[in-house]
Amino acid sequence: MSETPASARSGAPATRAAQVRPATEGWTQKKDAEGRPLLQFASPKRGKPPVHLADLTPPERIEKVKELGLPGFRAKQLATHYFTHYTSDPAHMTDLPAGQRDELVAGMLPPLLTEVRRLETDRGDTIKFLWRLHDGALVESVLMRYPGRITLCVSSQAGCGMNCPFCATGQAGLTRNMSTAEIVEQIVRANRLITEGGLGGKKADDHSMERVSNIVFMGMGEPLANYKRVMDAVRVMVAPQPEGLGMSARGITVSTVGLVPAINKLADEDIPVTFALSLHAPDDQLRDELIPVNSRWKVDEALDAARRYFEKTGRRVSIEYALIKDMNDHPWRADLLAEKLNARGRGWVHVNPIPLNPTPGSIWTASDKDVQDEFVRRLNDAGIPTTLRDTRGKEIDGACGQLVATTEDEAAAAAMA
Ligand code: SF4
């Protein structure tokens, strides 16, 4: 479906004529038989990661411990070590019988993530981790301290099958889905680091116990393409300690480029996570090129599903919108976005425009400041709460859509293997 700019419909002159079209830079997008960008929904078959306590429900943990020849109550002790002390080190588990500790830990808490590289900002309040999984696949997470909260941006897949032309992660396609425990372990490792005082920016007079308070599924991968494991991971995050991490569902943001059936499924779960739709364009003409999955589910279908999420959960939905110079930042697009959101009711949504980094010579570059401001103003004036998002992680190349292992990272991982 092609969209008519609001300015053209109203007869008003377009304030900006330039239209940069999405295109890959320095790599070629894989295409399907019809010549459209290839979409990969199914995870390639690879050796599964070892089963870990965080993959199992509490009754399954008890069974597994019994299989290892120990009484079932040891499962809870192990869960306490893992989910409240963030440790997988048998030496710390003095309440377990010394003779069986190593075997129990090897069977229930096998190593899942090997740290390959860590980058941090000068203040140390933003840290990017590069992890190697058991089969050599690389994923990243980014830990960020904000006033009053600590957010971890987690990966849900190694690589991604959604093939967005601006995104480094999608270039190599989908390597595989991450397991539930691989997703959870990113949080446990971050909490371990925080407990050890490794996250900077804490005030000298603040002696509170800290841990990750917010999760955003905006690292590598399309979370709703790995639905079951992501939702199982969310269940572990919100389960009360010691059976889980005891986090608030509201602090967990699940984002998607618009897998409509999965959005509907998410709305029917009884877990009121925050839902974010990465829209980036309000018109199908542009979005078909910018977000290839739009060829499957159109803007209106994705927005209808987002609205349904609000109706079912009462949780206000976020619309993510990366502002890209002369590509999607036109005033008429702000108006069209407002029109489409308002057509679905009031008070159900807010928009987070995301300023890109200025990248000289690239078509994927930041909108001018006045254009950003105008975009935000138009949405706010139309009654849509809109706030420019903080993209601090970009300082270390760790912001969403940029998470990819560089050649250097690959070399570091190979050296450790
Ligand atoms: S932007 Fe998101 S959905 Fe698109 S390829 Fe990158 S990680 Fe996948």
List domains and CATH numbers for the chain: 53-108 (1.10.150), 111-416 (3.20.20.70)
DSSP notation for 331-371? HHHHHHHHHHHHTT-SSSEEEEEEEPPP-TT-SS-BPPHHH
Mode of pairing for the β-strands spanning 138-146 and 174-177: unpaired
Tell me which of 120, 140, 182, 374 is the catalytic residue.
Answer: 140
Q: Ligand 1 centroid vs 393 CA: distance in angstroms?
A: 17
From first CA to last CA, the distance across the chain in angstroms is 49
Report the mean per-residue pLDDT for the chain: 89
Whether residue 291 contacts residue 273, with contact meaning beta carbons closer than 8 Å, is answered with: no
Q: How confident is the model at residue 132 (pLDDT cuts 50, 70, 90)?
A: very high
The gap from C-alpha 405 to its chain's centroid, in whole angstroms, comes to 16
Instruction: Report d(CA 282, CA 276) in Å as an integer.
Output: 15
Q: Tell me 43's DSSP state.
A: P
Non-local (6+) Cβ contacts of 270 within 8 A are: none
Task: Give pLDDT tens digits for 8-46.
Answer: 444 344 455 699 999 998 889 999 999 999 999 999 988
Question: Which atom of ligand 1 lies at the shortest distance from residue 167's CA?
Answer: 6
Task: Give pLDDT tens digits for 351-407.
Answer: 999 888 788 888 988 899 999 999 999 999 999 999 988 665 544 444 444 434 444
Report the pLDDT value the prediction gives residue 415, as an integer from 0 to 100: 58
Q: How far is CA 182 from CA 16, 153, 188, 342, 400, in A?
A: 46, 14, 10, 39, 19
Q: Of all residues in the chain, what percent carry a pLDDT higher than 90?
A: 76
Would the pLDDT of 307 be above 90? yes
Within 174-244, where are the H helices?
A: 180-195, 227-238
Instruction: Report d(CA 255, CA 258) in Å as an integer.
Output: 9
Annotated catalytic residue 400: yes
pTM here is: 0.92
Instruction: Report d(CA 339, CA 297) in Å as an integer.
Output: 19
Task: Give pLDDT tens digits for 264-296.
Answer: 999 999 899 999 999 999 999 999 999 999 999
Tell me which of 3, 120, 153, 400 is the catalytic residue.
Answer: 400
Instruction: Report d(CA 414, CA 411) in Å as an integer.
Output: 5
Q: Ligand 1 centroid vs 291 CA: distance in angstroms?
A: 8
Report, as an integer, the average pLDDT of 308-320.
96
Q: Ligand 1 centroid vs 170 CA: distance in angstroms?
A: 6
Reply yes or no: is the peptide bond before residue 360 cis, omega within 30 of 0. no
* Cβ–ligand 1 contact at 401 (below 6 Å): yes
* Cβ–ligand 1 contact at 143 (below 6 Å): no
